[in-house]
Amino acid sequence: MRAINSLLRLSAGLLVLAMLAACQTMSGPGLIRSEVTAELTPESANAIAGDMVGRLAEQVGPGTTTIELRGSETLFGSALEAALREWGYAVVTDQATEEAVVAPLAYSIDPFEGGVLVRLSTLQVELTRMYTLNAAGATPASPLSVMQRGSEDAS
């Protein structure tokens, strides 16, 4: 009986911590804060950025908007910017733009269960995927999770 009570308390505590963590990662309406807490090599950053931008292109095609990249000063941020440009996206970082349609994009990469958990977030969609890091770079270790967000213009 004590073991069950302890397990229930632990589960409840983890749920509360997860909810609090989710609240603290937001840096605007629907966006995560760009940060990397995992150790990446240039090869792993490039592999992850290339794969995630390919998946982003399936959701938000290049040529439809200008991407405002938040957090481009990190190793992964630079790799992500290069991958976005290779896929045909217009990218702005800190400069002001007069573009009619600018979509902010943020990312996070955190160590998780022997791999890294990667998230790309825009106001329209959030992509999440696990990767295993290796000498050649990184390999997807989970299916892609896609969370569509409703349009702010919806009446």
For residue 9, pLDDT beyond 70? no
pLDDT for 27: 40
Residue 61 confidence class, pLDDT cut points 50, 70, 90: confident
- Mean pLDDT score of the chain: 79
Percent of the chain topping pLDDT 70: 72
Residue 26 confidence class, pLDDT cut points 50, 70, 90: very low
pLDDT for 97: 60
Query: Who has greater pLDDT, 79 or 103?
Result: 79
pTM across the whole model: 0.74
Query: Who has greater pLDDT, 40 or 17?
Result: 40
For residue 18, pLDDT beyond 50? no
Mean pLDDT of 64-77: 83
What are the residue boundaries of the structural domains of the chain, listed by start? Answer: 27-148
d(CA 133, CA 121): 22
Written in H, E and C, the secondary structure of 38-104 is CCCCHHHHHHHHHHHHHHHHHHCCCCCCEEEECCCCCHHHHHHHHHHHHCCCEEECCCCCCCCCEEE
d(CA 37, CA 39): 7
